[in-house]
Structure 1
Amino acid sequence: MKLDVLPLLALGALARADKCPAGPLTVRTSTGTFTGLVDSEFPNVRQFLSIPFAEPPVASRRWLPPQKLSSSPDEHRYATKLPPSCPQFFPAVESMWNLPMTKGNLIYNGAQNDTSGLVGEATSEDCLHLAIWTPPVDEIPEEGLPVLFFMTGGGFSIGGVDLPWQIPTSWVERTRSHIVVSVNYRVNIFGFPNARGLKDDEQNLGILDQRAALEWVHDNIAAFGGDPARIMQWGRSAGGISADIHAYAYYEDPIAESYYIESGTAFSVVPTEEKTHYAFSYVAANVGCGSPCGEGCEDTDGKAELDCMRQVSMIQISNFIGKHTDAKKDPPLLFRLVPDEKTFFLNYTQRSEEGKIARRPAIISFTANEMASLVEVANITVGHGDQDAIDAGTIDFAICPGLNSTAYRNRLGDDAPVFRFQYAAEHPNLNIYDWLGSYHNSETPLVFGTYHLLDFIAPSTDFQVEMSESIQDHILAFAKDPYNGPQELGWEPMDTTAPNGGSLLRFGGSSGKILEYVDGIEVDGACLGLRKYDSFP
C-alpha cells in the first residue's frame, strides 16, 4: 500500500488537535480526532483504518463488557494502519482455511505462516478498533451516505478487520456512494469465556463489543459522511449469525435500519446450556490457576479463578487452547455463545412467535454448497467429504434456518420485508477442486471485490467481474433504500406463504447466467419434505 498523503513516521503518533493536519483526511469525533489516508490505487476512497470504539479490554478489564471511551475530541491520532485482530490461534493442522487457495481469508499474522501452531503474533488484546472506508468529501450528499456496518466471520473463534478478502476499497472506489465500517470483536475464550466468576450477562462479550461499536458508529458516522439513520448491520457466517442475534436482543432499540444476514442466522446455532463452566476452569487449571486462592480454600464463586486468569498472559492462554485442540485432546475446549436470555436466547422460535424481533428489512443469503468446506476431509487435495453429509449439514445450518428466519419476518408484515439470494457460482480462481461447488465463504471475494487476490491460481474472468458488480449493486440498492431499492432491480421480497415459496434470487449456477429468479420452494422445499436438496443447481 502506497501512502500518498502521510509519512510512515506518523503512524500511531498522538498529538493535540491544534497541531494535527487539517483538511478532508482529518475528522473530529466525540472520542478523538483522526487523520486517515488515501492510497494511490484507490484515489477516491478515504481510509480511516484504526479507530478505537471502547477502552482496551486488558488487565482488570479482561473479561468485562466493553467500557465506553471518555469524551476526548481534541486528542489526535493517525488512523493509517489496520488494527491488530483480537487474540486467536493459527492451527498447525491443514484445512480449507489455511491452504494457499484461501489466501486472504486469514488475518495478518506477521512473519508466521498459516499453519504455525501458535497464537497470531500480530494479534493483541487491545483490539477493540474499527476501520472506515468513505468517498471524498465533495462526493458526499447533504443527507449523507448509507453505512454498511460489517462484522467478520470465523466461528466466534477467529477473524478480524484485517482479513484481505474483506477489505472494501475497490467496492467503495467503484460506486463512491456508500461507506463501509468493519469492526473487531473479541473471540474464543476472550470473547465467550463462560467463566464461573462472571455474571450471566457478562459472558457474551463479543456480542457486547459489536453493540458498542454500533453505538459508536451511530454517534459519529456523520462526521465521515454517513447517514446514521441508514445503517445496515451486516455480517458473514458468525457475523451473519451475530446480525440476526442483534435483531432479537435489541429489537426495541435496534439502531440499524436494516440487516444483511450472510451465511448464518440465529436459527443456525443450537443453543446449549453449559452450567459447569468446565472449559474455562480446565484452561485455568493448566495455566497455573488450579488453586487460585491457596490450599484448603474453596473458590465457590469463581472470583479467585478469574482474578488469577487475568494475570496469565494472553499468549500462554491462547497457545494452550490451540495446541490442546490441534492434538484433539479431551475434553474439547469450546467457547461458544452462552444463553443468557439477554443477548442470546435458548428459544428463538418462541421469541419469533412473540414478535420479539426488530421490525426491519433484511437480506438473507447462503451459498449452495455451504458445508463442503466445513466437513472434515482426510486429504483435501485428493478426496472430498461425503456429499450426503455435506447436504445434510447445509440444510441444517443454512437452508432451514434461512426459511425460518424469512417466515417469521413475513409474519411481521410490510415492516420487515426479506430479500433472499443464493450464491451458486463457481469461478476458476475460487474452485480449484470441482467438488467444492459454492462453498462457505466463496461469495465473500465477490461481495467485497477482492477476487483478484486469487489470480495466482487462475485469472479472474469477465464473468466473475460482472457477477461481483451485480452482487454489490443489489446489496447497495438495499442499503440505500431497504424498502424499495431492490425492487428497482427486479428483486422482490420473498413471501414464504406463496404457492411457489416466493421468489429467490440466484447468482450463478448451471444456467450459465449472472443471475436468475427461481421459486423459493426449489431450495426451501428440502426443509418441508417436498424436494431433494440440490447443492449444484
Structure 2
Amino acid sequence: MRSFNIAFLAAILSLEAHAVPHSNRKVSVGTGLLVETTSGNIQGFINHTAPDVRQFLGVPFAEPPVGQLRFAKPQAKQPNGTVKALTLPNSCMQQFDSSSSTIYTEYETGFLVSGGNSEDCLYLSIWAPKVENIQSQQRPLPVLLYIPGGGFTSGGQASLYKIPDKWVQRTQSHIVVIMNYRVNLFGFPNAKGLEDQNVGLLDQRLAVEWVRDNIGNFGGDTKRITLWGQSAGAGSVSVYPYGYPEDPIVAGLIADSGGPGIVNYDLAQTNFTTLAGLVGCDGLGSEEELSCVRKVPAQTLENALSYYSGNGTSPSMAFKPVVDNKVVFSNWTERLTNGKVAKTPMIIGSNTNEGAGFVSFTPEGPGDEALAAATKIISCPVAAEAQNRYIGDLPTYRYQYAGNFSNISPLPWFGAYHSSELPLLFGTHSEYRSQSTSFEWDVSYAMEALWLSFAEDPTRGPARLALGNTAANPNNASYFAWPKFQQGASDMLLIAEGEKLMQLVSSESIDTSCSV
C-alpha cells in the first residue's frame, strides 16, 4: 500500500496541477489534473456534473496518420508540449449513407457520433476517480479499455449513450478509457502496395500498449486491463487474442454483440483500385496508385466511397478487416487447436433482438421473420466463438440480454436491439426520454457489477451480491458466481427477460437456429 501511494503521488503530483477553464464547463481546481505520459504532459479537468471524476478527453496515442502515414501502421505519439485534454476528439473519417433510414437515424440518435471527423483522430479519453479516492483503495484500480462499434465503417467516442463519467462518479472503483481507431478505407485499405492491411486493428493494439505504459500514472492497474468492445468493437476484441497469443497485455476480454466472423473478404484487392479510379488515380501500378491516393483530400475519398456505396452501385465496395494471417485469420478453430490464442478469460454475448438495428426503419417494423434473420448477423458469430472457446478450454462467460425498456425502446418491436444494453452498462439510461423504472436501475446496477467484478479479477470470473433481494440472483442466494460456459449446459446468463433480473438458461435455442 505504501509503495503504491509513493509511486502514484510521484507520478501525478510532481507536476503543478491547475484545471484549465473551458467554455460550457464549470471547471474545478483539483489534484492529479496534470499527468506525465509518453505522449507528454496531459492536462485534464473536473466539472460539476461529475465532481469526483478526473477527465482527460482527447489524449493522443499515435502520430496523426496523414501524408505518408495515411494507410500505414500507426506510429507512437512523441511528446510535443502539454496536451490540453478538455474536449472529446474528432472521430476518424466516417463513411455515411444518406439514403439509409434506421432506428438510429429515426429514434436512437444518441448512439450516433456527434462533432467533427478528421484524419487526425488517433486519440483516447480517460475517466478516473479523484486522486484522494484512489489512494483510499488497497491497490491501483482496474481499467476498462473500450473499443466503440460502428461496423468498421464509422464510430467513435463522441456519442451520448457511452460517456462513462456518471458511472465512474458513482463507483469510484474503476477507470474507463475509450479509444478511436481508423475505420473504412482509412483503417482497412487492403491495397496491393501496403505491407499492413488492417491498420485500424493495429491502432487498437497501439492504444492497448499506450494504456499499459501510462495508465499507472492515472491510478490504474497495468495488470488489470480489460479490453471491452461492442459490435465492431466486440469483433475486434474477439479477434485480439488470436493475433497476440504470447503477449496479450490485457487480463480480460468483454465482447458485447460481436465475434471473429465479422470480417471482409476481398482477396483480389480490387476495392482500393476501384476507389482509386473514382478519384483520378486509375491505370497505375500498385505503388503509384497508393502514392496518388495518399495525395487526395481525405473528405474527397470519403465522399467518393460513401456515394458509391450509398447509391448501391455494382459491384459493391467495402473496406473492413481482411484476412492477413497476422491479426485476422481464415480459420479460427485451426488457430485455436494449434494453441495460437491467448488464454485470456472472456465475457461474450448478444441481444435477443439484434436485428432491429439492421433493418430499414418502418413504424410498425419488418415482422418477426425478418428480425430473426437479421439478429443472426450478430448472434451466430457470437455463438460460434463461444463454442470455439469451449473446445479450446478457454474461460468464457456467455450471456444474452433481453431488456425492453420504453425509454430506450420506444416502439414495441425494438425490444433488445443492437446496442440497447450500452446505456445500462454506461449508466446513461436515465438521461433521455422518460424516467428509468426501478427494475431498469436494478438491471443497470447488476450488469455494471458483473462487468466490474470481471475487470477486478478475470481469473475469478464475474460475481455479485444480491440487491437486497435474493430473488435477484439465479440461485436464490445472496452471492452469485457466474459459471463458465459449457456447451449443452444451462449456464448462459439471461438478463432482464420479462421481470426476471437474471436467470441461467441453455443456449440451445440460439445455437440450433444458427446451424439451420
Provide the secondary structure at the position in 2 that maps to 1:38. Answer: coil
5+ residue gaps in structure 1? 12-20, 110-121, 292-298, 530-537
Provide the secondary structure at the position in 2 that maps to 1:371. Answer: helix
Report the equivalent of 1:83.
89
State whether structure 2 residue 399 is matched by structure 1 residue 421: yes
Report the equivalent of 1:401.
381
Which amino acid is 2:229 matched to?
G
State whether structure 2 residue 215 is matched by structure 1 residue 209: no
Q: Using the alignment, how far apart are the partners of 1:87 and 1:184 within structure 2? A: 11
Change (3 A) 1:59 1:270: closer
Question: After superposition, what is the alpha-carbon deviation per residue over 1:275-314, rounded to whole angstroms, capped at 9, x for unaligned?
Answer: 1x222112211212124xxxxxxx33x1111111111101
State whether structure 2 residue 447 is matched by structure 1 residue 466: no
Residue 22 of structure 1 deviates from its aligned partner by 8.8
Report the equivalent of 2:7.
none
Q: Check the 8 A contact 2:351/2:417 in 1, yes or no.
A: yes
Question: After superposition, what is the alpha-carbon deviation per residue over 1:462-499, rounded to whole angstroms, capped at 9, x for unaligned?
Answer: 221221111111100111011225245413333424xx
Question: After superposition, what is the alpha-carbon deviation per residue over 1:401-433, rounded to whole angstroms, capped at 9, x for unaligned?
Answer: 3333223323444xx321111110101112222
Report the equivalent of 2:362.
380
Candidates 269, 279, 288, aligned match of 2:280: 288
Residue 253 of structure 1 deviates from its aligned partner by 0.8
Residue 150 of structure 1 deviates from its aligned partner by 0.3
1:23-38 alignment runs, 5 A limit: 23-38=31-46
State whether structure 2 residue 56 is matched by structure 1 residue 60: no
Question: After superposition, what is the alpha-carbon deviation per residue over 1:326-370, rounded to whole angstroms, capped at 9, x for unaligned?
Answer: 222222221121110001011112112223221011100210111
Report the equivalent of 1:233.
227
Residue 171 of structure 1 deviates from its aligned partner by 0.8
State whether structure 2 residue 188 is matched by structure 1 residue 198: no
Q: Using the alignment, how far apart are the partners of 1:311 and 1:398 within structure 2? A: 37
Candidates 492, 497, 500, aligned match of 1:509: 497
State whether structure 2 residue 226 is matched by structure 1 residue 242: no
Q: Check the 8 A contact 2:71/2:187 in 1, yes or no.
A: yes
Change (3 A) 1:437 1:130: same
Q: Check the 8 A contact 1:271/1:346 in 2, yes or no.
A: no
Residue 83 of structure 1 deviates from its aligned partner by 0.6
Question: After superposition, what is the alpha-carbon deviation per residue over 1:225-261, rounded to whole angstroms, capped at 9, x for unaligned?
Answer: 0001001011000000000111111111101101001
Q: Check the 8 A contact 1:491/1:505 in 2, yes or no.
A: no
Provide the secondary structure at the position in 1 that maps to 2:494. Answer: strand
Which amino acid is 1:274 matched to?
L
Provide the secondary structure at the position in 2 that maps to 1:150. Answer: strand
Change (3 A) 1:328 1:526: closer
Residue 527 of structure 1 deviates from its aligned partner by 4.1
1:94-173 alignment runs, 5 A limit: 94-96=100-102, 98-109=104-115, 122-140=116-134, 141=137, 143-173=139-169
1:331-350 alignment runs, 5 A limit: 331-350=315-334
Residue 502 of structure 1 deviates from its aligned partner by 3.5
Report the equivalent of 1:16.
none
Q: Check the 8 A contact 1:101/1:430 in 2, yes or no.
A: no
1:444-463 alignment runs, 5 A limit: 444-455=422-433, 458-463=434-439
State whether structure 2 residue 335 is matched by structure 1 residue 351: yes
- Percent of paired sites with the same residue: 38
Residue 60 of structure 1 deviates from its aligned partner by 1.3
Residue 384 of structure 1 deviates from its aligned partner by 2.0
The two structures have a TM-score, normalised by structure 2, of 0.88
Which amino acid is 2:133 matched to?
E
Q: Using the alignment, how far apart are the partners of 1:66 and 1:480 within structure 2? A: 30
Q: Using the alignment, how far apart are the partners of 2:462 and 2:39 within structure 1? A: 36
Q: Check the 8 A contact 2:74/2:206 in 1, yes or no.
A: yes
Question: After superposition, what is the alpha-carbon deviation per residue over 1:90-146, rounded to whole angstroms, capped at 9, x for unaligned?
Answer: 43224225424212111113xxxxxxxxxxxx1111100000000011111352100
Report the equivalent of 2:8.
none
Greater Cα shift, 279-288 or 404-413:
404-413
The two structures have a TM-score, normalised by structure 1, of 0.85
Change (3 A) 1:39 1:10: closer
Q: Using the alignment, how far apart are the partners of 2:452 and 2:30 within structure 1? A: 31
